Structure 1
């Protein structure tokens, strides 16, 4: 038996329309690498692409959109001009350069994927034999969290609030622990998610449907008054929820020189009290993880070292043959955290 000529690939064809298409196995060019995929995580953006029928923004698809960008596997084939990468090498793939699963021609819900113009340590990041592929696939969402911490200049002694205990909020907690932060408060409307956050190392959990968000954070991080207005003592506020009411409430009580980082995807504009921002000199920064090979590799090293237990992050493992079921599980955010598709 020779190598397979075709393979199955998940692609978005329109609004709510994801199909498993039979496509040719990609041909490897001189600077490309073909990876045999072992595990791919489902991201909220994958669900968003399916719901929107594309990348969003309303433009119709010129051709079906391949999805899947959180993955790890084994190098299958290497182009003649590629140096420093060999067949059989276990790796996680940084999807940034090739727009893998995010507008580029390839996606990782497939048994094979082509990584164009592959560079060792930048696109193809080697991993030790001791690191399971399904954990290595977590490097991508973890590096989103780590990038947000770097944007917010987080220090070990900082008091940090994370809004949202979905996969990126949980990844942020893991990265905070990795960076030596202990004073972590996380807020979410789901008790199941908050339980995962506690197991990953959050010190205090808050469910704003049952108690005041500001009061609970104030008890944990302290409170004060400036210009006659109350503030909470959090040094850094990381928005991984995209819930405007919660974010607005915390901006209203942000302390002098607090750093606010927006990692969440906000679908609509929201008003900000610029007078308070000026008077309290707090900063609001956006964080979209690109140009992150250093953070990606730092997360792989963290995973390989096993310094933070990431197992509570993975809620389900589902075989590629049951991909539709895997997406249904991932869409139930109360019952799932990170769903890993295995091959």
Structure 2
């Protein structure tokens, strides 16, 4: 397949070759086929899962890769060409990209850490979301992690009146905080061990931001959300817990202090099995659910609409932007929780 007119024939694309082996490979710029669009990327965020794929040498790190793994799934850019059968999408459209349908950057054949991205099943409102001119590509790329947080909250049936606690103040935890506020929640607590992350949470409007290395989660939540006793055991008044940390100890502690009919949603990756107190799950009728956010077109669109409205200062969420030519430096920054929140790669017009 040849590159579309006006595009280079080759490009550099970030691909994982093995554990701790990520390279910028020179590959052919794809031409869009049936039902596909080609997007010139303006910005692509670096996700913790990208860093995990690099460290593990693949999606699971169990079997060697049969082919290099393209990475990058938090992206926005400009449509430059469309294939046959595509309706409602035309060159020049500014779009954010929902990676779910073709597992973009997550096991599929294409990744967004490259100047051009082929989008299979190109469809407005499903894989592509039109952007207003005033919304930068860097901020539009936040639709992907923000919609991850929104999906988890929706799985937990979170609403404006809920008292919410978020475990972990990394990028997904901060995105969950923003989307909990979008739903109207106000009594939101967030927990982490990194002071700089907690400062970002406070800047984004967290009602309580606690360092669990210094203060007890149950004690802090008991003061903030209220406390009580059931069957001789203490509980906190939190309605919804969202696990964005992946800490087995923290999740077990939540189960031990969750109130009657509290809801717990796990967004974080847990790499090992966890023993839970199932007596408490039963006796307190706890709801425990997972959220992988791989079918969330409606939530993606809702997030884009929120970003387009403006009015929210998300500067504490995007900590760094690097031109793609500084790829390795950007990865190193993204891996430093004390300095970085969301790190975004830009491609000439991302900001």
Give the TM bin, normalised by the shorter chain: over 0.9
Aligned to 1:151, which of 142, 151, 155? Answer: 155
Greater alpha carbon shift after TM alignment, 259-268 vs 299-308: 299-308
Greater alpha carbon shift after TM alignment, 147-156 vs 301-310: 301-310
Identify the residue that residue 188 of structure 1 maps to in structure 2.
Answer: 192
Matches within 5 A, 1:145-294: 145-294=149-298
Q: Deviation at 1:307?
A: 3.7
Identify the residue that residue 144 of structure 2 maps to in structure 1.
Answer: 140
Q: Deviation at 1:173?
A: 0.3
The CA distance in 2 between the partners of 1:67 and 1:124, in whole Å, is: 18
Identify the residue that residue 18 of structure 2 maps to in structure 1.
Answer: 14
Please list every run of 5 or more consecutive structure 2 residues that lacks an aligned counterpart in the other structure.
Answer: none
Identify the residue that residue 3 of structure 1 maps to in structure 2.
Answer: 7
Which string of whole-angstrom CA distances, capped at 9 and with x for unpartnered residues, describes residues 94-146 of structure 1?
00011100011110110001011211110011111111110000000000000
Q: Deviation at 1:84?
A: 0.3
Q: Deviation at 1:246?
A: 1.5
SS of residue matched to 2:292: coil
Greater alpha carbon shift after TM alignment, 85-94 vs 26-35: 26-35
Matches within 5 A, 1:44-123: 44-123=48-127
SS of residue matched to 1:334: coil
Please list every run of 5 or more consecutive structure 1 residues that lacks an aligned counterpart in the other structure.
Answer: none
CA contact (8 A) 2:53 2:61 kept: no
The CA distance in 2 between the partners of 1:93 and 1:70, in whole Å, is: 7
TM-score norm. by structure 2 comes to 0.96
CA contact (8 A) 1:40 1:134 kept: yes
SS of residue matched to 1:72: strand
Identify the residue that residue 301 of structure 2 maps to in structure 1.
Answer: 297
Identify the residue that residue 44 of structure 2 maps to in structure 1.
Answer: 40
The CA distance in 2 between the partners of 1:99 and 1:2, in whole Å, is: 27
Which string of whole-angstrom CA distances, capped at 9 and with x for unpartnered residues, describes residues 36-69 of structure 1?
0000000000000000111115011111000000
Greater alpha carbon shift after TM alignment, 232-241 vs 51-60: 51-60
Q: Deviation at 1:247?
A: 1.5
The CA distance in 2 between the partners of 1:335 and 1:8, in whole Å, is: 27
Q: Deviation at 1:2?
A: 4.5
TM-score norm. by structure 1 comes to 0.98
SS of residue matched to 1:252: helix
The CA distance in 2 between the partners of 1:283 and 1:80, in whole Å, is: 46
SS of residue matched to 1:311: coil
The CA distance in 2 between the partners of 1:309 and 1:59, in whole Å, is: 43
The CA distance in 1 between the partners of 2:24 and 2:242, in whole Å, is: 36
The CA distance in 1 between the partners of 2:25 and 2:107, in whole Å, is: 17
Q: 1:337 aligned to 2:337?
A: no
Q: Deviation at 1:15?
A: 0.7
The CA distance in 2 between the partners of 1:250 and 1:150, in whole Å, is: 19
Aligned to 1:312, which of 311, 316, 337? Answer: 316
CA contact (8 A) 1:174 1:308 kept: no
CA contact (8 A) 1:329 1:339 kept: yes
Q: Which runs of 4+ in 1 moved over 3 A?
A: none
The CA distance in 1 between the partners of 2:274 and 2:34, in whole Å, is: 48
The CA distance in 2 between the partners of 1:275 and 1:117, in whole Å, is: 46
The CA distance in 2 between the partners of 1:162 and 1:261, in whole Å, is: 10
Tell me the C-alpha RMSD between the 2 structures.
Answer: 1.0
